[in-house]
Every structure is written in C-alpha cells, then in structure tokens.
Chains A and B, each alone.
Chain A
Amino acid sequence: MDTTLPQRFLEQSVHSLKQVQQQTFQLNQQPFHQLNTYDQDPANLQLNRTPIQIKPNHQETTIAAIDTSTIKIGETSTGIIVAIRGATVWKQNRGYRYTRLGPFIFHITEENKKEVYNTLERAYFTTRYETSHFYTPSLLQMPTRLASLLERWLQTMIAKTVTNGLILLDGSLTSGTIDTPVYRMKDILDLARKNQNVILAFSKVTTLRTNGYLITDQLPSSETPYLLETSGLGLRPPTVLLGEIYVARLGKSNYAFRLDIDKEIEAQKRVEAVERLVGNDLYNQNYPETLRLSHILCTFTANEVLAMQHFITRKHGIRIINRPDMHRLLFGLFGKGEICA
C-alpha cells in the first residue's frame, strides 16, 4: 500500500503546528460538513414509483465503507486549528473490523494553506495527473478539502485491496466539483471495477425533488426492501454524474436514501449488488451498519477535542485563551454565538 499521503499528512500537520508554537489560541470547536454545492437541474428528474424488489442475497460478500471527519478545534491570531480523521470499516465473516487513520491536526493560515494543500495533493495524486492545476481553497474551505483528500485516498486504497466486494461511500457519485475532480472519481470507480467491486454511495440528505417533493419522501407502500429508479437528472458542466441514482428503502422503517451506483455497471448487476448488501449487512433505520460505523468511528467526540486541545497545549506550547464571544458581548442573551448566527 502506498502510504505517501498519510506520511505527508503527518509531516504537514507537524510542520504547520510548529509555526504556531508559543501563540495563544481561542477555544472554538465546530464540525465541518461537506455540502453539495454543485449546480444541478432537477427539472427533468423523474422517479419511477414502480419498485424494484430486492431479494436479500446471503452469499458471503465483503462490505467496506469509508468516511472522514473534520473539526475546527480553535483559532489563532493568524489562522485556524483543525483536526481530520478517516475511518474504514469492513464486514467480513459476520464481524466488523475497522482502521482509523488520524487524527491529523493542522494549523492553517493564509500563508501556509497553499503549501499545505498542494503538498498533500501532490503527494498522492499528481504523479498520475501531471496536467492538473492545483486550486487552493479558501481558509474556511480548507478543512473539508483536506478531509476530502484523505477520503479519496482511503477510497482508492479500499478499491485496490478489496475484491468481489461492495464499497460504500458517504455522499453521491457526482464529480467534477472542486474537491472531487472527475478523473479522480473515475479512477476510483475503475479500480473498483477491476477488482470486481461495486461502489454504492449513500446520501443521508438529498435535495432532489420530483413534482415538488423530495425523492426520498415518495415511497410506495410495497414490500421492502426495494429500489426506485430515477432518470433525467441534468448537471451543469463541469459537474458529471458517474452513478445511476436510486431511492433505496432497505428495511421496514419509513426511511429511504438516495443511492448512487456506478453507472458503468450493468443495471442487473447494480440490483444484484444491492441484494448482496441487504443479505450481508445489518440495518439501523434502513442505513447500512458498515457505513454507519465508519461515520461513528471517524466523528470527533467532545472528549477527543479536549484531548487534542490538551495535546497542542502540551506538545506545542500553545496557550489557550478565551476571547470574548462578540455575539454574547453585544447582544447578551439574544446573542446565540457564531454557529447559530
């Protein structure tokens, strides 16, 4: 396994923290969520409400899931301190196993953000995409971009190492966005296909609507599990859809999710993949347990945030200060703080 990227993550992390030594920092924790901000044209989107019945296939299949998480753990006078962690979970022989990578703590400033991002981008992906030009995200976008880099690397590693399995991703198979270039996503899908894997991407939240209603709210009362097919979603270039979009209701409870399955795989094989998924994984609120665990394992708990604050204070001599909350200061009880403002 090529571990260049995690190594670079560590180097950049340590390097960035060294620059912040003996500074003070303001405690402020805030999780970042990756938002799908790409342009989509749902005008032509259609939902076929005739369900494709899923017959659970219990043939032993490896199921792997990947997720990453990032959190801002404080601010300095020149930038922000963020932590990033990734987790892969796989279900094999009726048991779940996981590998967690991180946390990596970065001090990101306007000065070093370009260096940090480009070094990491180059560390794993450039060798194969000489022509790509690096786009440096804004300071606020940096945490999600760095997490995205780690997530794509983990996805690549899983696509390479798992065979005849199902790979579950968090989100969609929409690419062509800043943090998910088309070639990179294609590359992951190709690698997976080469190893007889099928990639399935589950979106916890979708904005796709037909007839004014969310596609995940238009569930027929048929016997579960089932899939509903969609068609006609148009995306504005450069955004590209690399998967077929389904609505998946995998259990009896009334929850359904947008499910993207690799487009290059035959329609029948896609349904078979879902059948193997249903036959092999557990479901909590109709959501695959493997993916749920990967999310849970990479999420930062308050305890971990405290530990990381302790780490940077002890190891890097950063003094914690409590800068007054201006919202509170100005508006008293009516000031709800930055996050809710």
Chain B
Amino acid sequence: MKLYKKEGNIVQILCFPTENAEKGDYLMIEDSEAGKALIAQVIDVQFAAIPGVLEELLRTLPDGGEPIQGEDIDPMEIAPHITYIQDASLLICKIRATFQNDVLSPSSSWLPSRSQSLIRKLSIPLLLRLANVEGKLPIILGGTKDASLLTIDASTIDGTLNIITGKKGCGKSHLSKLLMVSLLGYGATVVVFDLNGEYSSLGFSADGKRNMYFDKIHALTPSQNFKVAVNQLHLNVVMGILIHALHLPGTSAREFRRMWKQLKDKGNLTLSSLGEAIRNLNCNQHVRDALSSRYHSLVNSGFFTDTPAEATLLEECLLKANDKGGALIVNLKNTSTIDRQIVVEYVLGKLVDSLSSWKLKAAFLFAEEAHLYLRETYWDDIVTRMRHFGLFTTFVTNQPDTIRENIYRQADNIFLFNFTNEHDLDVVSRAARVDAETVRSIARDLPPHHCLTLGRVVHDFPIVARVRTLDLKTMGETRLFFKNMN
C-alpha cells in the first residue's frame, strides 16, 4: 500500500490486489523518521484511476456490441501485471488519530512521508488496546471482522445518551437486550419501555429455563400487574399525566388541582370520590366536561385503582432494583396510545421523583420507538435535566427522523445498523461524535446483525462488529404467516 493523497483528515491510499482492505478496516501509516503514525479507517474502496483502463475495456467491444473473441499470445506473461495494475484500488480513509510515544491523540495536522511511510493493517484488538477501550466492566458486543471480540466498558454507557438505530429487522432490539442484561449483570437499575413485549421473558434462557437474570427482571403490565392506587399518587405526577398525556387545558388543570387537594385533605382521595367531585363541581360547563372526559380516560385505562392491595409500588420496585440491580420492564404491548402515554408519564414522573430525592442513585432507561409515547417536551428533559438526575437513556428506533436533531447532537454513543435510505443516513450523520462520510459509507453496506459502533464506548474509533447471540428468550421475532409452511 502506498500513501497517495491527503486532504484535510482524509487520506487516499493506493492498494494493490494482493493487499486486502475493506471498508471499516483500520490502517496504520507509520513514518519511522517522524517517529509517529497516523491511524486511519477505510471508509470507502474505489477503483484507482489508472490511465488507459477505459480504452482497455472499450477495445474488446466492436460496433456490434458483443465482446470480440480472440487469443492473446503473451510469451513474457505481461497480462498478470496488467490485471494487477487494473485492479488496483484506492482506499479513502478517515484519519482517526496520531500515535506517538505510545499515546493516541486525535490529531491529523502532520503529513507523513509519501515515499517512506509504511502502511499496514491495524487489527481491532491492537487498536482497542492502544485506545484503552476495554475497561474493568467489560461488555462483549460481538465479533469483529478479524475474528476478535469487540468489548466495551460498561462505565462508558454510564451517564451517557445512546441511540440504537437501523433498518427494520437488522438486530437493534437484540443489541438493546444485550446492553440491558449486561448492565443488569453489573447491578445496574434498568427501566425499559417495552413496546412489543419483547423484554418480559429475558429472565429465561432460549430453552425456557430460568437464567441468572430471572430474579432481577420485573415485568410490569399496566392494568394487569401494574396498577397505581390513587391515594398514593403525588399531585405533580397526576398533573403531569393530565396536562401532558391527556392535554388538559390550564383552567381545568387549576380546578383539578384544587379539587385533588380538597379530597386529599379530607382523606377521601379515591377514583369514585374524584368522579363524584367532578360531577358536583360548580363551575363552567366546559371545564367540567374537560375534567370529566379526562377522568374517564384515567378510569378506562384500568391503570388506577382505589384498592391499595392491587397496586404495585413502583418506588419499592425501583429501590429493590437500586440495591441489587434489576430491570423494570414496562410492557406497553396491547396498550392504547393514550394509556401508553399515561403509563409512561407516571413512570417517568416517579423516576424523576426517586432520582431527585436521591432514593435512586441512577437508572438506565431503554426506550423503544419513543416517539410513540414520549411527549415532545420530554425529549429535551431526558437529554438535559434528567441526565443530571441520573437517568441515562438509550433510544431504540428504526425511524431515525423521529428523534430530534438536538438529541443526535448530544448523543454520546450511536450503535448504527444498516440503512440504505439516504434520508435516514443524513439524519444519523448529524450526531456530533460522528462524521457524515463514515456514516454514509459504512452503514449503507453493513450486513444484517452488524453494527457500527460510534462514540465514547469505542473512544471515537468507529468499529464494525457482528452483535453476538444471546442465550435468552427474546421474543422479538416477527410473527410470520408462511413460517413452517414448507
């Protein structure tokens, strides 16, 4: 391989057919005289612009269009050399760092010698070692192309905002589960908004037996084993549900607040007394109607109860998880849009309460297709305010444009699966820790179950890995009509 060109932080390297390099590979461009080396990643492989190739290809086609048949008597055996030159490729590489005195620095300000530089492939294990990616809390994400393991440190997910995105069916949820159980293994508190009911059975291995996570996974299905006693609700949580999930106007909200306080003071805060109070409320008809419709939405959700024995104390579950590590799986499958928003609003409200009062140290939130249940203002809350409280979110989505641009800008880690749509790639490439060329070029060619890991977890060295399989009952498989038909 020969260094051909450097423009900004892009280097072009001439690669001959005997030297195999592919997209995603890392190369070390060593300039022994300068005593340093550039570490660059191949982001595209092109044909080298060899002069005369077009003529070479054209002359085998006569006017008729069919290739001309013939025999080449090549006694000096020049033909292999022609092929060798013709098949030379140009590697477009992005400079990731400079390696000098055993230290990596994110600099590309120097120019290695074009004639003297030695270019060789850098194996992923060596790169990870140089970059100190492996830490004390290893999470094995999967295998890289050179048969090594991509291991990240759990602490690099701590305090971060993560995005897992990619086309449908390429393994996003699988990776999300892998991260989740790995965090669980290190005693973390995890909350999952499980849109499709895929996470509830993670306490079982693939063969249906209980696994090490069984005792740590608490699946909560709203209106079934997850109900809330009205008298245990905090007013601000209820107001949050009414205003944000049920869009209660301001005037009506004020009336409700007053009414709630009165009932609480009387020690008569139940669903039925609340209904009665709304019916008897002496106020504008529109206000009463607004309150009445919201009240019925709360009642119909089945999520609220007057019987404390039926209620699940979310706070207790969270505290339990906080002590020993555990996951609260909020199963949102078969839940209507409104009910979903009520539940999410309640859970997030409770989480913020627990975190702000330091009852809970920190929690990892996994939110699948969050746009389906997360209210607009929560996006900013999650990435800014809640992060400071200790709520670290991982968004999982196959529609990257449903996540706001400012979320991408603040994302610390992105786990990117295959995307072919230019628009989707454009959206993802807005992330601050990612360069657009890398995203566009590598993500487009990722095979299924292969993930491009970007950001803090890999110390800003984008690495492609095949996500490892899990011995878990994942239930994420799509139900098919024609399955087992043949």
Interface residues of A (CB under 8 A from B): 6, 9-10, 13-14, 89, 95-105, 282, 284, 289, 293, 296-297, 299, 301-308, 310-311, 314
Contacts and interface: CB of A to CB of B under 8 A. Distances in A.
B299 interface: no
B72 to A, nearest CB: 5
A304 B52 contact: yes
Contact of A310 (B62, B75, B81): B81
Contacts of A6: 73, 75
Nearest to B70: A98
Contact of B84 (A293, A299, A307): A307
B86 interface: yes
B63 A100 contact: no
A69 to B, nearest CB: 12
A99 B71 contact: yes
Given A104-B75, A303-B56, A97 B51 contact: no
A13 B76 contact: yes
A10 B77 CA distance: 11
A170 B76 CA distance: 26
A179 to B, nearest CB: 23
B207 interface: no
B78 A306 contact: no
Contact of B81 (A14, A297, A301, A307): A307
Nearest to B73: A101
Interface in B53-67: 53, 55-56, 59, 62-64, 66
B82 A282 contact: no
Contact of B62 (A10, A96, A104, A302): A96
Contacts of A306: 50-52, 85
B74 interface: yes
B69 interface: yes
A10 B76 contact: yes
A41 B391 CA distance: 100
Those 8 A-B pairs whose CB atoms lie nearest each other, nearest first? A302-B52, A301-B52, A98-B70, A302-B51, A303-B52, A307-B81, A307-B82, A10-B75
Contacts of A293: 59, 62, 68
B85 A303 contact: yes
A100 B66 CA distance: 19
A317 B476 CA distance: 62
B76 A284 contact: no
A49 B302 CA distance: 106
A137 to B, nearest CB: 23
Contact of B78 (A95, A301, A304): A304
Main secondary structure of the interface of A (DSSP, over half): helix
A299 B55 CA distance: 10
Nearest to A304: B82
Interface in B81-120: 81-82, 84-86
A89 B59 CA distance: 13
Given A6-B75, A10-B75, A302-B51, A99 B85 contact: no
B62 A301 contact: no
Nearest to B86: A303
Nearest to B60: A297
Interface of B: 50-53, 55-56, 59, 62-64, 66, 68-76, 78, 81-82, 84-86
A66 B112 CA distance: 50
17 contacts: A9-B75, A89-B68, A89-B70, A95-B66, A96-B62, A96-B64, A100-B72, A282-B63, A289-B62, A293-B68, A299-B55, A303-B53, A303-B56, A304-B82, A305-B52, A307-B81, A307-B85
A297 B70 CA distance: 10
Contact of B74 (A89, A96, A102, A296): A102
Given A301-B52, A303-B86, A284 B78 contact: no
Given A101-B73, A302-B51, A308 B68 contact: no
Contacts of B64: 96, 282
Contact of A97 (B53, B59, B68, B84): B68
A9 B73 CA distance: 13
A47 to B, nearest CB: 31
A101 to B, nearest CB: 5
A100 B78 contact: no
Nearest to A310: B81
A96 B52 CA distance: 23
Given A303-B55, A310-B81, A310-B85, 20 more contacts: A10-B75, A95-B66, A96-B68, A96-B69, A98-B68, A98-B71, A99-B70, A99-B71, A100-B71, A104-B75, A289-B62, A301-B53, A301-B55, A301-B56, A302-B51, A302-B55, A303-B52, A304-B78, A307-B82, A311-B78
A310 B76 CA distance: 13
Contacts of A102: 73-76
A97 B70 contact: yes
B14 to A, nearest CB: 12
B61 to A, nearest CB: 10
A297 to B, nearest CB: 6
Given A293-B62, A293-B68, A311 B53 contact: no
B73 A308 contact: no
Contacts of B62: 96, 282, 289, 293
A98 B84 CA distance: 23
Nearest to B53: A303
Contacts of A302: 50-52, 55
A100 B73 contact: yes
Given A306-B50, A307-B82, A307-B85, A296 B76 contact: no
B81 A311 contact: yes
Contacts of B74: 100, 102-103
A303 B51 contact: yes
B53 A104 contact: no
A12 B405 CA distance: 71
A89 B84 CA distance: 26
A308 B78 contact: yes
Contacts of B73: 6, 99-102
Contacts of B86: 303, 307
Nearest to B88: A306
Nearest to B69: A97
A34 B55 CA distance: 22
Nearest to B16: A310
A161 B139 CA distance: 75
B76 A104 contact: yes
B69 A95 contact: yes
For A104, A296, A306, which residue has the most chain B Cβ atoms within 10 angstroms? A306
A31 to B, nearest CB: 12
A315 to B, nearest CB: 9
A125 B332 CA distance: 94
Contact of B50 (A96, A303, A308): A303
Nearest to B77: A311
A222 B66 CA distance: 34
Contacts of A314: 81
A303 B82 contact: yes
Nearest to A87: B70
Nearest to A95: B69
Contacts of A9: 75
A120 to B, nearest CB: 14
Contacts of A103: 74, 76, 78
A284 B63 CA distance: 9
A150 to B, nearest CB: 12
A302 B66 CA distance: 24
